[in-house]
A and B are shown apart, each in its own frame.
Chain A
Amino acid sequence: MLSISGLKVDIAGSRILSGIDLAVEPGELVCLIGRNGAGKTTTFRSIMGYRKPVAGSIRFAGKELIGRAPHEIAQMGVGFSPEESEVYADLTVAENLELPTWTRRSKMSEKDRVERSLTVFPKLRQYLHRGGAQLSGGERKMVSVARALALDPSLLLLDEPFEGLSPAIIPVISEGIASIRAMGQAVLMAESNVHHLPDYVDRLYVLERGEMIFSGTLAEAYRDKAVMRVIAGEVELEHT
């Protein structure tokens, strides 16, 4: 459903992605892993149309995404939860969740779409009328993921959903993502910490300095020493 080939992206004259390939099939949970600065966010922002690649192709549901505006890509069915959550402070939690139901029509009713998002993170029910500014980091992350799901997307992009969260909240987010996957939802998720990867990941890609150095299953990645040096190295650094 999503297939990226030969994607090259420059930012301010430097090459950030040097010809990467990546694919997500329907119902798959695919993880893009790499250190900070490897190019994960740039990949996501290119898929969403925020970045104009210099070469390559990003095809989604049979159509080329490059050259389309972000709102068109969202309306085609790509749900995006950015690394910084970007929950609207000026809107309530309920309004945050409803917004994508107003911009994209789908077979599900608006109410069902919000309801489905709330079943993923039931805790949000308590905060529905709270303003976006009055939430903790973990709560904002839940709203951000739930909001992307309320778009009723065919593909969900989650950029580092565990980044910067307290260890206590990580299992809640992880369970939420597990239940999203159980719905048959295709997910592409970025992560810098291999130990945060849920064991139900179908496939993973490893990105290092703008190049894709590995593609395969989690078990294969654990056997590959070069890959483990890249993706587990940072974990040790973080714990020192």
Chain B
Amino acid sequence: MTVFLDVLLGGVFHAAILFLVAAGLQLVFGVQKVINLACGSFYALGAYFGITAVGLASAAGFPAWTVLPVLILAGLAIGLVGLPVERILRTVYRRDESYQLLLTFGLLLMFQDVFRFFWGATPRTLDNAYLAYGTAEFMGLRVPTYNLLVIAASIAIAVALGAFLQKTRTGRIIRATAENRDMSEGLGVNSSRVFAAVFTVGCMLGTVGGALVVPASASSLEMAVELVVEAFAVVVIGGLGSMRGALAGALIVGLIRAAAIMVLPEAEILSIYLVVIAVLILRPAGLFGKAMA
């Protein structure tokens, strides 16, 4: 029972982080029709910058409990890097997908050098912050309170994002532009501005996800590529472009990963991709995806 709960909580924590990054990927794909491989870089950027921000905050005498808000703010702030990156992507919106994949893959590799330049090649950690919130007793199991807070924060962000897209004017303009960019332009929507805003929000979801993960695991040069591999599994399982798909996919991948680590750590990625292959064979559009012609 304890083992089961351990897997469950560990899996849901990882799923909460994965969901944020995958939601950013889905949002950008839904509106811009660009598969952004650089989402992994945003995640890693959030992680590195989060560590720096917490370091600065604690040097400035911020109390230990401010770690979570500092990380969220740091993630949001560094997410603004999405604006200049979107300017680069603009050149390939109307081109073939292969150009988009090549460009975003190039960005992924370039960011890796940026991290090496600013933060060095050795992994960085933020151990002491992890237990700043203590541990909580959950059905006989002691878990870091931080994990529960991150799960709660991720759920809150998911609900807020859904409400924003469904209920606000800007959200409706974004959905209209996602469905038919030309018609929206013809009705007075500046779609370039919509694209820049959406991409930046998508980027922020990734950077916040990365910032939130650092108390629990180290930031390293490999984390960007590792996350792209998982985020793609999430998107394929859930269905490209679907937010509900991102949620379901993140939970499935998070739980499988947690179970694999417990039972057979070598098979962590293998087990995830077995599910991906099964989904591709049985339901090519993903669990919540619309079938593509």
A residues with a Cβ closer than 8 A to B are 48, 50, 69-71, 74-75, 80, 82, 86, 88-91, 95, 98-100, 102-104, 147-148, 151
Contact = CB atoms under 8 A, between A and B. Distances in A.
B190 interface: yes
Nearest to A69: B185
Contacts of A148: 187
Contacts of B190: 69, 71
14 contacts: A48-B186, A50-B186, A71-B190, A74-B186, A74-B188, A80-B187, A88-B175, A88-B179, A90-B176, A91-B179, A95-B172, A99-B176, A100-B187, A103-B188
Contacts of A50: 182, 185-186
A113 to B, nearest CB: 13
Interface in B163-217: 169, 172-173, 175-176, 178-180, 182-191
Contact of B173 (A86, A99, A104): A99
B254 to A, nearest CB: 29
A95 B174 CA distance: 12
Contact of A88 (B180, B182, B186, B188): B180
Interface in B235-256: none
Contacts of A151: 187-188
B179 A90 contact: yes
Most-contacted residue by chain B among A71, A82, A147, A148 (CB, 10 A): A71
Given A71-B191, A88-B179, A102 B185 contact: no
A12 to B, nearest CB: 15
A29 B188 CA distance: 23
Interface residues of B, number: 18
Interface of B: 169, 172-173, 175-176, 178-180, 182-191
Most-contacted residue by chain A among B173, B183, B185, B187 (CB, 10 A): B187
Contacts of A147: 187
Contact of B188 (A71, A82, A91, A95): A71
Contacts of B191: 71
Per DSSP, chain B at the interface is helix
A50 B182 CA distance: 8
Contacts of B175: 88, 90-91
A90 B31 CA distance: 13
B165 to A, nearest CB: 10
A220 to B, nearest CB: 33
A69 B190 CA distance: 9
Contacts of A91: 172, 175-176, 179
Given A90-B175, A91-B175, A99-B172, A80 B180 contact: no
B188 A86 contact: no
Contacts of B176: 88, 90-91, 99
Nearest to B165: A90
Given A70-B185, A71-B189, A74-B185, A102 B169 contact: yes
Given A50-B182, A86-B180, A88-B180, A74 B172 contact: no
A90 B189 CA distance: 16
Contacts of A69: 185, 190
Contacts of A89: 179
B139 to A, nearest CB: 41
A70 B182 CA distance: 8
A143 to B, nearest CB: 12
Contacts of B172: 91, 95, 98-99
Given A71-B191, A86-B180, A88-B179, A102 B173 contact: yes
A86 B182 CA distance: 10
A11 to B, nearest CB: 15
Contacts of B189: 71, 99, 103
Contact of A86 (B169, B178, B183): B183
Contacts of B184: 71, 99
A89 B172 CA distance: 12
